[in-house]
Structure 1
Amino acid sequence: MEIAERLEKVQKAIEGSVEDLELMGRLLDEFDLLQRRAQAVDLDEVDAKISKLMPELGFSPEDSDRLVASFSGGWQMRMSLGKILLQDPDLLLLDEPTNHLDLDTIEWHEGYLQKQDVPMVIISHDRAFLDQLCTKIVETDMGVSRTFEGNYSQYIISKAEWEQTLAVLLLLRRNWRDFKEEDQIEAI
């Protein structure tokens, strides 16, 4: 029987044993033991995930014994990313992920994120980083959001085309109004 199922059964038994203090004591001891086992299993799984993730993040086995403060900012960023990835996120929200990083770390960051199979929302002023990672750009201007397919460079081109099309449509609309006004004046 799985630990979680056994925990649930023992908990129900505890609730039903309010009259028998001796039974309740034994059940509480069993419940405590099961909780410790569950925590140990979780810790073993986390340790296994960390051992697998460390080399992917560029860490050596010896790095696991070092204090976080002994690492540079770029390596600490890798640790932060690792902590997030250990949680198996449904979505990564990255706000200025390249700030204060050296070029080598930025390149590593790009390559690592490209291999991830998780949707990402990236807020960044780093156009090269956006070019490497993004497949859609969402622009929000004056409370209106527009989605453009492609990376940042493609977004610049698509936005210019969109603005040109909008300008033509506005010009056609104005010309249509002028034409309608002239039509009405001639009718008088």
Structure 2
Amino acid sequence: MPGETFLRTDRLTLRTVERDDVDFLQRGHNDPDVRTPLGMYGPKNGAQVEGFVQGSVEDDDSIDLLVCVDDDPVGAATVNNLHWDRPALGYWLVPEARGNGYATEAVGALVDHLFETYDRHGVHARVFDFNEASRALLDRLGFAEEGRLRENRFRRGEYVDELTYGLLRREWEEARPLAER
């Protein structure tokens, strides 16, 4: 049974993660095109993904959502450390759903929700230097590169830089159309 709708955009539904989503999440977490940019190393079996889902259901310091097109999941969007002054974003799409603007739309809606609902000073995301699509997404949403951890992780047979991007509340407010302020 699909989870409850949390947010809607023109084309997407962001809904809660439920136990029935284990198969989709396992496929996503085991796909090298998803796993590598997220910094996941080994494969995930069903029990491990079930543990993740159970933790997601019980954790009040995160928001874990599936990104859906016509009720079919195509990815995930998360907020971790929700109670911190600058929570962390995470997101991914299955390869066949990329290139349609879904990630930008989903992450943008989630950022709007954070700032409209919580008194947070900002939000941040960490991406690998080689993940040009994710870096472009953050640029489109007004995030600024705030830091670089040089050769921080071993990926694809070499050490790679990990970048931190951030968006402050005042920057988000300034970028909103006047009608929304």
Say yes or no: TM over 0.5. no
Greater strand proportion: 2
* TM-score (norm. length: structure 2): 0.32
* TM-score (norm. length: structure 1): 0.31
Q: Which has the higher contact order (CA 8 A, sep 6+)?
A: 2
